[in-house]
Amino acid sequence: MEMEQKTGEIKKRLQAAGIDELPAFINTYSKDTRQGVALLVKKAEKMLEAYEKELDRTEKMKEFEKKYSAFSCICGIDEVGRGPLAGPVVAGAVILPVDCDILYLNDSKQLTEKKREELYDVIMEKALAAEVGFVSPKRIDEINILNATYEAMRKAIEKLNPRPDILLNDAVTIPGITIKQVPIIKGDAKSISIAAASIIAKVTRDRLMVKYDAVYPEYGFAANKGYGAKAHMDALRRLGPTPIHRRSFIRNL
């Protein structure tokens, strides 16, 4: 009988259980009076509660996707890397399916690196289209970071197949685009499409900065991703800029 199982065996069953198996687990062991089992049931209840909260949060993040559901192909747009002293600015463009069931999508800065990496793989698997656009440090110096951001976004959009008929943008309106645009303040925390674009852009840029770290190890790019951390600033003052530094960002150093 289930009630005769050792607590360790029950714990293993919980560890192996999927979300859809938690209600049955709770029902099976809720009458077991052993303290260890009661704690496992409590843990299962908290896991189920957290899952249901995430379902609700994700559903709320579909507000703009639902509002513009008359459009056949909705694309989320976001960028990362406007503030660093080194490396490119990267934009993400993601078209999710109408029945998207990806959970935990959020502003990439609110997620751990591990969670971003996990979600990157899920997004790339389930998205109808997901592309990135890069603009180099040299180009940033030539046209300034705002125009470089717009350029990166246009590059990402141009790669998309299928072509979107509406863009949900994180805060900005992109010049030179004929597709209908909806700028949403803090959109990466309000729209699943923009959140997905944020994650794709962030993971792509972070991976690139790790590669640059192998080329310029003194600057700590793997850790600071080109932002002005102390180790980065110290190396910059000591060794000078690399080819991936934005000269327009470091004039006062």
Q: Is the pLDDT of residue 213 over 50?
A: yes
Residue 16 CB contacts under 8 Å (≥ 6 apart), including other chains? none
Average the pLDDT over 76-94 and give the result: 98
pLDDT of residue 53: 94
pLDDT of residue 103: 95
Give 71's pLDDT tier (boundaries 50, 70, 90). Answer: very high
pLDDT of residue 3: 47
pLDDT of residue 68: 98
Q: Is the pLDDT of residue 128 over 80?
A: yes
Question: Cα 69 vs. chain centroid, distance in angstroms?
Answer: 23
Using the CB atoms, write b or e for 54-75: b if 16+ within 10 Å. eeeebeebbebbeeeeebeebb
Tell me the whole-structure pTM to 2 decimals.
Answer: 0.89
Q: What CATH code would you report for 72-248?
A: 3.30.420.10
Give the side-chain half-sphere CA count within 13 A for 150: 10
pLDDT tens for 9-64 read 999 999 999 889 999 999 999 999 899 999 999 999 999 999 999 999 999 999 99
pLDDT tens for 133-169 read 999 999 999 999 999 999 999 999 999 999 999 999 9
pLDDT of residue 224: 97
Rounded Cα distance, 175 and 152, in Å: 12
Asked if residues 79 and 224 have their Cβ atoms less than 8 Å apart, the reply is no
Give 252's pLDDT tier (boundaries 50, 70, 90). Answer: confident
What pairs with residue 184 in β-bridges?
Answer: 170
Average the pLDDT over 170-184 and give the result: 97
Extents of the domains making up the chain: 2-60, 72-248
What pairs with residue 168 in β-bridges?
Answer: 76, 182
Q: Is the pLDDT of residue 253 over 90?
A: no
pLDDT tens for 106-118 read 999 999 999 999 9
Residue 119 CB contacts under 8 Å (≥ 6 apart), including other chains? 102, 104, 105, 111, 196, 199
Q: Is the pLDDT of residue 1 over 50?
A: no
Average the pLDDT over 81-87 and give the result: 97
Using the CB atoms, write b or e for 189-198: b if 16+ within 10 Å. bbbbbbbbbb
pLDDT tens for 215-236 read 999 999 999 999 999 999 999 9
Q: To the nearest whole number, what is the mean pLDDT of the chain?
A: 95
